[in-house]
Amino acid sequence: MRRILFLFIGFFVLSGCEKNDPSGADDYRSKIVVEGWIEQGDYPYVILSRNIPFFATLDSAQLTDFVIRHAKVSVSDGTRTEILSSRRDTNYFPPYIYRGSELRGEAGKTYTLKIEYEGKILTASTSIPPRIALDSIWFVRKGENNDKAQLFLKFTDNPDEKNYYKLYTKTGSVKRYTPTLLSNQDDKYFNGKQLIIQANRAPVNNLTVKNDPYFEIGETVMLKFSSIPKEGYEFWSSFQDEVINSSNPLIGSTGKITSNIKGQGIGIWCGYGSSQYQVKASP
């Protein structure tokens, strides 16, 4: 499985230990790493893991030991509460996820997440913004005799609302969307205006920052354009900064990822109002 989710980056970026101790034992504090989301029209999903010391030695077998499979995870919309079931799902790595089957996301509603595990209680809340439709999508060929094209999209921001956006793509037989590099948008720079975005091809996984931004001519491209709440924008922007900084040996990673998880945990619980499109790369 090539898609590596945020939770494994969380093992390292969110470890909560100082880097000056090779053992990582002096400052290491155990936390639950959370990646949870609820999308308009879909059920809630949550992935749980433990963080690890920065200098810990790991292999693939050890990584699975940090996955939390037996927590009590519930989501409430203020009226109804559903306990999510833990199940194996090979669309994710590691292949375990908590998923709902009754409560579907609705735009404008607030959803509260509660996690109970080994005496710890974690909570978070999020809302689902209304989805925004794109005005147009098109491709521009890289060169006259080139078989690759750049994807562009245009949308109109609502001047009466504070909005944040996130962009994803996927191609071929890949089952999960991956966010494009620099995928987060804050409308403070274009409130009430039309915005044209050059949408780069999403990397193979979240650990990759070097990536071919173009699509093959004739290739089918799936595009997801999501409205997200403030807490989602703040988390993904700080997370993106860490990924970019960690790839540059000349820049130290001194930032702190913004989390909306309360309790002995860190990560994100986020609502998404998403519009999805299927287009063919044909300029």
**Residue 216 confidence (pLDDT) above 50:** yes
Choose the weakest-confidence range: 46-55, 66-75, 111-120, 176-185.
46-55
Under a CB-based contact definition with an 8 Å cutoff, are residues 149 and 142 in contact?
A: yes
Regarding whether 123 and 236 lie in a shared domain, the answer is yes
The verdict on residue 1 lying in a domain is: no
CATH no. for residue 183? Answer: 2.60.40
The verdict on residue 75 lying in a domain is: yes
The verdict on residue 58 lying in a domain is: yes
Regarding whether 151 and 246 lie in a shared domain, the answer is no
Other CB atoms within a 10 A radius of the CB of residue 210 amount to 7
Domain count, the chain: 2
Under a CB-based contact definition with an 8 Å cutoff, are residues 75 and 40 in contact?
A: no
Regarding whether 164 and 117 lie in a shared domain, the answer is no
Regarding whether 108 and 40 lie in a shared domain, the answer is yes
Other CB atoms within a 10 A radius of the CB of residue 149 amount to 22
Of the two residues 270 and 199, the one the predictor is more confident about is 270
Region 73-79: mean pLDDT is 97
Regarding whether 22 and 63 lie in a shared domain, the answer is yes
Regarding whether 62 and 166 lie in a shared domain, the answer is no
Please give the residue range of the domain that contains residue 140: 136-228+274-280
pLDDT at 83: 98
Region 175-192: mean pLDDT is 90
The Cα 218–Cα 282 span in angstroms is 6
The verdict on residue 65 lying in a domain is: yes
**Residue 6 confidence (pLDDT) above 80:** no
Regarding whether 164 and 120 lie in a shared domain, the answer is no
Regarding whether 243 and 117 lie in a shared domain, the answer is yes
Give the global pTM: 0.86
Of the two residues 150 and 56, the one the predictor is more confident about is 150
pLDDT at 58: 60
**Residue 1 confidence (pLDDT) above 60:** no
Rounded to a whole number of angstroms, the distance between the first and last alpha carbons of the chain is 32
Regarding whether 171 and 120 lie in a shared domain, the answer is no
Regarding whether 186 and 61 lie in a shared domain, the answer is no
**Nearest 5°: phi and psi at 55?**
-95, 15
Q: Mean pLDDT of all residues in the chain? A: 84
Regarding whether 217 and 185 lie in a shared domain, the answer is yes
Given its phi and psi angles, is residue 238 left (phi above 0), alpha (psi -120 to 50 degrees) or beta? alpha
Give per-residue pLDDT as tens, 87-133. Answer: 988 887 778 999 999 999 999 999 999 999 999 999 999 999 999 99
The verdict on residue 206 lying in a domain is: yes
Q: Is 167 exposed, middle or buried (0-12, 13-18, 19+ CB in 10 A)?
A: buried
Regarding whether 105 and 242 lie in a shared domain, the answer is yes
209 pLDDT band, cuts 50/70/90, is low
**Residue 257 confidence (pLDDT) above 50:** yes
CA-to-CA separations, 98 to 69, 155, 178, 274, in angstroms, rounded: 8, 34, 20, 21
Under a CB-based contact definition with an 8 Å cutoff, are residues 128 and 107 in contact?
A: yes
